[in-house]
Amino acid sequence: MRIGGMLGPAQLLRLLHINRVLVRHGLDDIVLATHLFRPIAFLRHLLPWNWMPRRELHLTRGERIRLTLEDLGPIFVKFGQMLSTRRDLLPDDIALELTKLQDRVPPFAGDQARAIVEKAYRQPLEAMFAEFNPQPLASASIAQVHAARLLNGREVVVKVLRPGIEKIIRRDIELLYIIARLAQRYWREGRRLRPLEVVSEYEKTIFDELDLVREAANASQLRHNFKDSPILYIPEVFWPETRRNVLVMERIHGIPVGNIAELRRRGVDMKKLSERGVVVFFTQVFRDSFFHADMHPGNIFVNAENPDDPRYIAVDFGIIGTLSPTDQHYLAENFLAFFHRDYRRVAELHIESGWVPPETRVDEFESAIRTVSEPIFDRPLKDISFGGFLLTLFQTARRFNMEVQPQLVLLQKTLLNIEGLGRQLDPELDLWKTAKPFLENWMKNRVGPWSVLNRIKYYFPRWADQTPDLPNLVYGILKQAHNGDLTVRLQKQELDQLRRDLHWANRRNFHAAVGAALIVSAAVILGFDARDGVEFWRAPLLSWVLGGIGVGLLLSAWPGDK
């Protein structure tokens, strides 16, 4: 990926288009207010487009930024969506406005979709599908979805990547890198916000979405995790028909979760539905450590066949989050410690987990957490936002040099989505009441006797497989030791001591060599003087000096002397 150097004609045209869009939405004043352009900010009054009143200037800065990104196209829209989750980087007003970005773009022609599918299969469409509807069911920035029917009669959806989308993404990502480099160099907040890292994170995410085989694998894993689950259904992937740019999945029928009116008309138990959303989230995070990280309303449907026992249906698995066992443990303890107002434990957990530097002072960090957390508890527990707590916690930790944890950012984004969705379904949802027993049981199972037995059960086959090899391993070690071939890995303290010993050994050898050379030189001088008949005690002073220095150096090289 090129992020510097000369721009090509296409990039220059794209950059000019970006500038025109910025001006159209009144963002030129924001650009001119930066450190780089502040000395020439007065020139904005000379620009012709500022002589007439502009409607955009009456909008908030967040609205202007959102409209700009929507005009710049789908790649910038997705970038804005990703930024909306980074509340540690953006002011709240801008972040909230960016959550309104809609990933809706006009569909491409059905004939193009058909050609892409036939090229992927290397055979006519009729050889794979009994039916294929050229009119898409949905269209987004990366791909669009068509209804189809397999030869065996199964109803499916076919997700097809947009033609030429990879080239478009690479062009716009390259421009984002250029803008990020300028921001990091000239913007006062650039170094703290690390724009290059933000663009790099976005680049990885969006290129992952281009691989539909990866998405299919994500869907299969989630389907396995929630097999026979009464609360979440994941559509089946049809692997023989799936390619890198074509994904075939079971077609599902449900009510979009955002259609509250229809859910109420069907008599769906909204309280149970909202609570099940919380259970789905915590099950994915803490039981499976594998969670759907793009759970906005457009990707969630509800099976309302039994209104008293509603079931979620999830689609679109391009973005998945995972947590290590360590992250799981520290996150659960953080939630529980916060619930009990044990702010010192929250501070200690951040240090123990490595999220903040080990030299962080616990008392100072504890005080900062208390300052931002105590006002939260003035409200009823049901009104306290879990996602808001995480956001507040991470923002506070950033002051103590907390490194960005991508997996926690995805988690925070997903939690905010689930929480907002749950309270939209049931405004009285008490997320803490639902989550606290789940977390307490998870912690109990993790550290209790059953946890030990489960771990033994998990590792026992591996131990049983390795046990027969133990006698040979022990014999090999003993044989190496007997032959003097055993290699020992030294600890840092031992290595430091070894370095010091080698240093002194080299120094002693040097002193001994120089001392011996000086003594030999003195002896040679004395020898020439004796040949010329000079008495020993009348030898030149130089020979005595050289000899004295040589003896001193030999003495300093004595092993006991350091």
Please give the residue that has the higher pLDDT: either 532 or 86. Answer: 86
pLDDT of 37 reads 46
Distance CA 126, CA 114 (A): 10
Cα–Cα separations (whole angstroms), residue 170 to 92, 214, 217:
30, 19, 24
Q: Looking at residues 410-429, what average pLDDT do you find?
A: 80
pLDDT band for position 56 (cuts 50, 70, 90): low
pLDDT tens for each residue of 249-269: 999 999 998 888 999 999 999
Q: Looking at residues 109-126, what average pLDDT do you find?
A: 92
Please give the residue that has the higher pLDDT: either 417 or 489. Answer: 417
Distance CA 503, CA 509 (A): 10
The three-class DSSP label of residue 231 is coil
Neighbours of 370 (CB within 10 A): 15
Which amino acid, 276?
R
Instruction: List active site positions.
Output: 294
Question: Which residue shows structure tokens 């040099």?
Answer: 401
Whether 304 and 261 have beta carbons less than 8 Å apart is answered as: no
Residue 39 has pLDDT above 50, yes or no: no
* Beta-bridge mates of residue 143: 161
Half-sphere exposure of 94 (CA within 13 A, CB side): 14
Residue 132 has pLDDT above 90, yes or no: yes
Q: Looking at residues 46-73, what average pLDDT do you find?
A: 67
pLDDT band for position 544 (cuts 50, 70, 90): low
Pairing of strands 246-250, 255-256: unpaired
Distance CA 46, CA 28 (A): 13
pLDDT tens for each residue of 133-192: 999 998 888 899 999 999 999 999 999 999 988 888 888 888 788 777 776 776 665 555
pLDDT of 561 reads 43
CA nearest to 237, candidates 253, 251, 254: 251
pLDDT band for position 522 (cuts 50, 70, 90): low
Question: Which residue shows structure tokens 């099940």?
Answer: 276
pLDDT of 323 reads 84
pLDDT of 2 reads 42
What's the mean pLDDT when you consider all of the chain?
A: 75
pLDDT tens for each residue of 508-519: 656 556 556 656
pLDDT tens for each residue of 331-366: 888 888 887 888 888 888 888 877 788 888 888 888
Give the H/E segment covering residue 303: strand 300-303
Lowest mean pLDDT among 6-15, 40-49, 284-293, 494-503: 40-49
Please give the residue that has the higher pLDDT: either 289 or 479. Answer: 289
Whether 312 and 278 have beta carbons less than 8 Å apart is answered as: no
Whether 414 and 293 have beta carbons less than 8 Å apart is answered as: yes
Highest-confidence range of 212-221, 254-263, 455-464, by mean pLDDT? 212-221
Residue 450 has pLDDT above 90, yes or no: no
What percentage of residues in the chain have a pLDDT greater than 90? 22
Please give the residue that has the higher pLDDT: either 281 or 413. Answer: 281
DSSP class per residue in 112-150: HHHHHHHHHHTS-GGGTEEEE-SS-SEE-SSEEEEEEEE
Contacts of 507 (CB under 8 A, 6+ apart): none
Residue 448 has pLDDT above 70, yes or no: no
Lowest mean pLDDT among 146-160, 206-220, 287-301, 499-513: 499-513
CA nearest to 141, candidates 171, 108, 113, 115: 108
Please give the residue that has the higher pLDDT: either 213 or 6. Answer: 213
Neighbours of 121 (CB within 10 A): 15
CA nearest to 284, candidates 372, 410, 200, 146: 410
The answer, as to whether pTM is greater than 0.85, is no
pLDDT of 229 reads 93
